[in-house]
């Protein structure tokens, strides 16, 4: 199974996730209640995870060859998330980033409900 297929499977196993296509780049993006939490790169070898800026900085510092924080070029260079070279990190770490990004963007009540149910992505 490819990284994109695994990411799709893990992301859509989380509550209230919808997959759409980026309006400009036409790549898969994943949203929870309308908020993007994950976007695939143009060639399927990268993904951007919408985690906290501090978590992105820490992750990139720990593995600079595979991860880097990304910011918009416009809008005062606002923080977007962590871009990851998917072939350079383990599947377990990718799966963890999928859930971290979902948790960062999902409403707190939905996260709490998910935790109460003890569910984890497939």
Mean pLDDT of 102-110: 96
Give the best-scoring range by mean pLDDT among 19-33, 69-83, 90-104: 90-104
- Burial (CB < 10 A; 0-12, 13-18, 19+), residue 111, is middle
Domains: count for the chain: 1
Q: What is the 3-state secondary structure (H, E, C) of the chain?
A: CCHHHHHHHHHHCCCCEEEEECCCCCCEEEEECCEEEEEECCCCCEEEECCCHHHHHHHHHHCCCCEEEEECCCHHHCEEEEEEEHHHCCHHHHHHHHHHHHHHHCCHHHHHHHHHHCCCCC
Q: Is residue 121 part of a domain?
A: no
pLDDT, residue 106, reads 96
- Residue 119, domain member (yes or no): no
Does the pLDDT value for residue 74 go beyond 90? no
**Residue 1, pLDDT score:** 60
Beta bridge partners of 82: 49, 69
Residue 78 has what pLDDT?
Answer: 87
| Mean predicted confidence (pLDDT) in 43-51 | 92
The pLDDT value recorded for residue 119 is 62
Range of the domain at 68: 3-108
Tell me the pLDDT of the chain averaged across its residues.
90
91 occurs within a structural domain: yes
Nearest of 105, 106, 84 to residue 95 by alpha carbon: 84
């Amino acid at each position: 199974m490819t990284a994109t297929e695994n990411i799709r499977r893990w992301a859509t196993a989380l509550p209230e996730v919808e997959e759409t296509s980026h309006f400009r780049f036409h790549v898969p993006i994943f949203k929870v209640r309308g908020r993007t939490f994950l976007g695939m790169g143009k060639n399927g070898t990268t993904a951007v995870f919408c985690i906290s800026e501090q978590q992105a900085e820490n992750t990139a510092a720990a593995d600079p060859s595979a991860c880097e924080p990304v910011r918009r070029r416009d809008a005062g260079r606002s923080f977007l998330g962590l871009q990851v070279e998917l072939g350079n990190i383990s599947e377990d770490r990718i799966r963890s980033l999928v859930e971290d990004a979902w948790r960062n963007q999902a409403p707190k009540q939905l996260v709490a409900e998910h935790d109460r149910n003890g569910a984890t992505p497939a």
